[in-house]
Amino acid sequence: MNYLSTYLYICALYKQKYTAVCGGNSIPWIPGDNSQYVEGVSRYVWIPDGDSVPHLVDLEEPADESFLNARNGANNAYWLYTRRNPLNYQTLRHNDDNSVKNSSYNDTLPLAVIVHGWSSNGHSAINPLIRDAILHVGDFNIIVVDWHKAANSLYTTSVRAVPCIGNHLGNFVQWLFDNHGGNWDKVHFIGFSLGAHVVGNAGRAVSGRIKRITGLDPAGPEWSGNSGALKRSDAGYVECIHTDGGLLGTFHAIGDADFYPNGGGNRQPGCFISTCSHSRSYELFADTVRYNRLSGRECVNLNEARSKNCSGAKLRMGNIDFNKKSSGIFGLTTGSKSPF
């Protein structure tokens, strides 16, 4: 528990005595509750780690410049899973041919890349959940990107590190395909929160040659007007699933197709706090891979999506269909637990 979390915990216990100190909306004292957060205005926000535990973040805390100057993307780890090693990863190393030759990598198989968010690592919940769903329905090369050193820095530092992390990831896949084979038309990058912006930068590093990118509730804090944010030109087809829009995720339609389950914001069914709604994006995506039965209706505009009043053409949300191609804003309703 960091000092801000400790401070808020004390305030929560003694809020009557400390009303003058703890009052107001500048510091939210309920862990995970971002209901008072205003994008571009609020200084403090709760952001979950890889185990969905909320941490209080100071968005005005100076980034660690010494860390940012250390070419942090070179610390990326690339963990390979296939149906031949579905549970025990093999580490692929950039410019190390033997690490690939001695692995289960198969250049005839499609490639899925999974990238976690802030305060997480390669073992965080998003990775096995999506990995297992993909291997359940198809034979893939799956690479889990562990960028924990940069991701476990101050949030402001992690935000600044995203372009470097993404560039190194894109350069690694370029090297892998150049030296060991692969098919750009069978590449799907999947990123959660900050990881959504990482995969956007990776796509940019290879000139948009990636077939598909899925952004899972792309991070909102510090990303409004940020040139490093995920955008529709980063891949052949970019799809976003928004579940905590306006708080931890962005509400803006930034992909070719943008889905807004249950209005796209907090509270998602079964969630009572923003951090739960944020994480719901990767749970929903994993379900779309396994069952492929969640469909959105096209909306006239974002307001219609937020009010859950869309009635246009249907489009399946998520899944791993490489031939998927569409554009627009889509709304849908889901249940509160898997299968959604």
Is residue 226 within 8 A of residue 201, CB to CB? The reply is: no
* pLDDT at 22 > cutoff 80: no
- What residue ranges in 137-282 does DSSP mark as E strands? 141-146, 187-192, 212-216, 237-241, 257-261
Tokens 């779309």 locate to 288
Looking at the DSSP bridge assignments, the partners of residue 259 are 241, 330
Q: What is the mean pLDDT of the chain?
A: 92
Q: Work out the average pLDDT over 272-288.
A: 97
Residue-wise pLDDT for 83-93, tens only, equals: 999 999 999 99
Show the domains of the chain with their CATH numbers.
Answer: 3-58 (no CATH), 65-332 (3.40.50.1820)
| Distance, CA of 114 to CA of 108 (rounded, Å) | 19
State residue 68's pLDDT score.
86
Tell me the whole-structure pTM to 2 decimals: 0.92
* pLDDT at 17 > cutoff 50: no
Residue-wise pLDDT for 164-204, tens only, equals: 999 999 999 999 999 999 999 999 999 999 999 999 999 99
Share of the chain above pLDDT 90, in %: 88
- The lowest-confidence range among 7-16, 28-37, 116-125, 137-146 is 7-16
State residue 72's pLDDT score.
81
* pLDDT at 2 > cutoff 60: no
Measured in whole angstroms, how far is the alpha carbon of residue 154 from the centre of its chain? 17
State residue 240's pLDDT score.
98
Structure tokens at 19: 């009303």
Check whether the bond before 204 is cis (ω within 30° of 0).
no
Confidence of residue 67 (pLDDT cuts 50, 70, 90): confident
Determine the residue type at 289: V
Which of 161, 173, 88, 93 lies closest to 131 in space, CA to CA?
88
Q: Work out the average pLDDT over 148-166.
A: 96
Give the active site residues.
Answer: 193, 217, 278
State residue 69's pLDDT score.
78
Contacts of residue 189, Cβ cutoff 8 Å, sequence gap at least 6: 112, 113, 115, 199, 202, 203, 210, 212, 213, 214, 235
Q: Work out the average pLDDT over 216-239.
A: 97
State residue 24's pLDDT score.
34
Which of 296, 295, 279 lies closest to 330 in space, CA to CA?
296
Is residue 86 within 8 A of residue 135, CB to CB? The reply is: yes
